[in-house]
Amino acid sequence: MTTFLSREVREGLEQARKRAARRSSRLRLRVDGETWPVLRLWDGGFALEADEAPHLRGLVDLYDGGRHLSQCLIVASAQEGGEMHYEFKRITAAHDSAPVDFARDDDAPTALIGP
């Protein structure tokens, strides 16, 4: 038994797969006020849609919805199957508060009450 799909059917299936991946992913890449949806994320990098993504290089911000996940230094590595792959050169997690340079006591007061 042979399975054969015409070129139009294969292209339609590929477009549907990309559309579903773009909708299901909350991950976004932001550079200079522009954003792109991240199709896939792995330990060493991520993938964007090749048709929409420019040839990015440098410092970018990675978001999960509205939450800032990390600041990344990236380089474009390859284009495969309609996806542009980028590799992390450096990835730094974003924090909600500034780091402190002293040890906090567990029983320290959270606020001072005046007289």
List the domain boundaries for the chain: 26-93
pTM (two decimals): 0.66
The CATH architecture to which 26-93 belongs is Beta Barrel (2.40)
Paired tokens of 82: 């309609």
Which residue is associated with the tokens 């477009």? Answer: 15
Q: From the CA atom positions of the chain, what is the Rg in Å?
A: 21
Strands 45-49 and 27-31: unpaired
| Residues 17-74 pLDDT 10s | 767 665 666 889 998 888 888 888 899 999 988 888 788 889 999 998 888 899 999 9
